[in-house]
Amino acid sequence: MTGDRPGADTRPAAVDPGRRITLAQLPLRPELVGEEPYGAPQLQVPVALNVNENPYPPSTRIRLQMAEAMLEVARTVNRYPDREALGLRGDLASYLGFGLSADNVWAANGSNEVMTHLLQAFGGPGRLLLAFTPTYSMYPEYARNTHTGYVTVPRRDDFTLDADLIVGAVAEHRPDIVLICTPNNPTGTRTPVSVIAEVCERVDCLVVVDEAYQEFAEVPEDSALALLPRFGKLVVSRTMSKAFALAGGRVGYLAAAPAIVDACRIVRLPYHLSAQTQAMARVALAHSREMLAQVDKLRDQCQQVQVWLKAHGFEVVPSQSNFCLFGRFLDRHAAWQALLDRGVLIREVGPAGFLRVSAGTPAEMAAFRDALTAIRPDHPVAAFGEPIPA
């Protein structure tokens, strides 16, 4: 045979690129067929106001300290990190206050992983997660990825929640976990701590309160954290991505009874939080006052843009966060694209007819106002055009 001749080329033939396997040919889980990866557009634009980031980076002094911490960690990068992240958890407990200790805190790669840990531990096949819409679009994906059932109940017309609505939904659907986002994304509406306390008194399931944007609220100290000593099945989730301007660091955390933390420890992957991540976050927490110094400015910018939008005829959902919904547009995608064409990226999310804008620097907000003013004749809101279909 020619292939056995000395010197014959026995390498396999190159694969024809046209014959590469496709996703449709793979044994994908049925519930993932047709699904798209989550993610807001990541575009290089002059003004990015679409993902609720803190636009102010850490100071040079803090960045240098982070770099020094990275250099120190690199000395032992050949070793695994502290898999319990005890130092970081202790620092987070000190930041939160309310008498919490490291035993009450769990940390992971963003609040996304924190929520996934909770559903791995308390959700799963045959169990149910209840949320209230409109709310954060990742919640159903957390449920899907952990084989947890997912059911939603609409919020009130003003996008708020009260105890009777929540308790009634729990009685109807009998969930294992109820999830309350406050301030709620994408509406910015808060659920009072008194409502959460009443819910915890009246239901027997796990109650998870997502406070990712709590630092931007009018009274940040008015937190469900104060309820933890009273309710063993209460969990409060937070993040360092927003107010702490550490979105690239990927640190989320929760506060709860030590038993809930232990449940998360069971399901977490070994060494899930890198030494570099832990070190950077601890530097940020050591300078929490400076890291949070711009929060008041962003809160003010958010309130100012709501006033401006209302004065110019837009419908605005009152927000206590660093973002707000406004509309209603006859064609919100066209309006979103027109803003993008002018270098301003916001988010097409939430109820029909609305767009969401994040608070930015004064210059960024001025650019947003100018761009919106420029496109308005071509993309009227309902007050100046035909009524939006229900």
| CB-based contacts of 142, cutoff 8 Å, min separation 6 | 112, 115, 116, 119, 129, 148
Residue 390: pLDDT over 60? no
Same domain, 232 and 104: yes
CA atoms lying within 13 Å on the CB side of residue 356: 25
pLDDT band at 389 (very low <50, low <70, confident <90, very high): very low
Which of the listed residues 223, 256, 287 is the one where a domain comes to its end?
Answer: 287
Residue 183: pLDDT over 70? yes
pLDDT band at 96 (very low <50, low <70, confident <90, very high): very high
Which of 375, 381, 106, 139 is closest to 267 using CA atoms?
A: 106
Which of the listed residues 287, 316, 331 is the one where a domain comes to its end?
Answer: 287
Mean per-residue pLDDT, 325-350: 95
Which of the listed residues 257, 287, 317 is the one where a domain comes to its end?
Answer: 287
Does residue 86 belong to any structural domain of this protein?
yes
Mean per-residue pLDDT, 136-159: 97
Q: Quick one: tokens of 300?
A: 């003010």
Does residue 301 belong to any structural domain of this protein?
yes
Does residue 2 belong to any structural domain of this protein?
no
Q: By three-state DSSP, how is residue 368 classified?
A: helix
Same domain, 182 and 306: no
The whole domain housing 227 covers: 60-287
- Cα first-last separation, the chain: 74
Percent of the chain with pLDDT over 90: 86
**Domains held by the chain: number:** 2
**CA distance linking residue 328 with residue 145, whole number of Å:** 33
pLDDT band at 376 (very low <50, low <70, confident <90, very high): confident
Question: Per residue in 232-249, pLDDT tens?
Answer: 999 999 999 999 999 999
Same domain, 222 and 318: no
| CB-based contacts of 231, cutoff 8 Å, min separation 6 | 197, 200, 207
The pLDDT assigned to 380 comes to 78
| Residue scoring higher pLDDT (299 or 14) | 299
Does residue 123 belong to any structural domain of this protein?
yes
Secondary structure E strands in 195-322 = 206-210, 234-239, 252-255, 315-316
Inter-CA distances, 276 with 72, 103, 273, 326, Å: 9, 22, 8, 39
Mean per-residue pLDDT, 356-376: 96
Does residue 29 belong to any structural domain of this protein?
no
CATH of the domain at 220: 3.40.640.10
Residue 138: pLDDT over 60? yes
Same domain, 106 and 143: yes
Mean per-residue pLDDT, 195-220: 97
| CB-based contacts of 120, cutoff 8 Å, min separation 6 | 146, 267
**Phi-psi category of 110—alpha, beta or left, where left has phi over 0 and alpha has psi -120 to 50?**
left
**Averaged pLDDT score across all residues of the chain:** 92
Mean per-residue pLDDT, 307-323: 96
